[in-house]
Amino acid sequence: DTGVSQDPRHKITKRGQNVTFRCDPISEHNRLYWYRQTLGQGPEFLTYFQNEAQLEKSRLLSDRFSAERPKGSFSTLEIQRTEQGDSAMYLCASSLTGASPLHFGNGTRLTVT
C-alpha cells in the first residue's frame, strides 16, 4: 500500500493560465474523489469517479474545471483560465467502495497570482 499520490505538491501560476494536477489512487481502489480545501476551512467535495465513470459533480465545480479518469486508474484535474479564488489545496482521495474508509493524498497546493 503506497498510499494516494498527488503531483505536483505545489503549483504557482499566473491568473488566466491553465493548470493540471494528477492523482494516483491506491491501486485496488475503485472510487476516486477530488476535494478542495481553502485556508482555515475543512475540505469540500468536488467530484468522484467509480472506475472511469464520473458519477457526481458538486456545484462548486465550475465549467472551468474538468476531471478525468480515463483508464480507471489515475485521475487528472484541470483548471482552465485560473482565477485568484482558485487558490487552495486540492486533495485527492480513494476508497475501495463507497462505504469503505477514504484515504487522502497530501494534496496539491495551488497559488494563483
Partner 1 sequence: GQQLNQSPQSMFIQEGEDVSMNCTSSSIFNTWLWYKQDPGEGPVLLIALYKAGELTSNGRLTAQFGITRKDSFLNISASIPSDVGIYFCAGPPTSYNAGNMLTFGGGTRLMVKP
Return the residue of 1, 14, 39, 40 that touches partner 1, per CB under 8 A: 40
Q: Which of residues 58-87 bind partner 1 (CB under 8 A)?
A: none
Q: Does 49 bind partner 1 (CB under 8 A)?
A: no
Return the residue of 61, 79, 93, 110 that touches partner 1, per CB under 8 A: 93
Q: Does 110 bind partner 1 (CB under 8 A)?
A: no
Residues in the chain, how many? 113
Return the residue of 19, 24, 43, 112 that touches partner 1, per CB under 8 A: 43
Return the residue of 44, 66, 68, 87 that touches partner 1, per CB under 8 A: 44
Q: How far apart are CA 69 and CA 71, in angstroms?
A: 6
Give the number of C-alpha atoms closer than 13 A to the C-alpha of residue 18, restricted to the C-beta side: 8
Q: Which of residues 10-39 bind partner 1 (CB under 8 A)?
A: 31, 33
Tell me how far CA of residue 48 lies from CA of 25, 31, 52, 97, in angstroms.
12, 7, 10, 12
For partner 1, give the closer residue by CB, 11 or 31.
Answer: 31
Tell me how far CA of residue 83 lies from CA of 13, 55, 59, 76, 87, in angstroms.
10, 26, 17, 19, 8
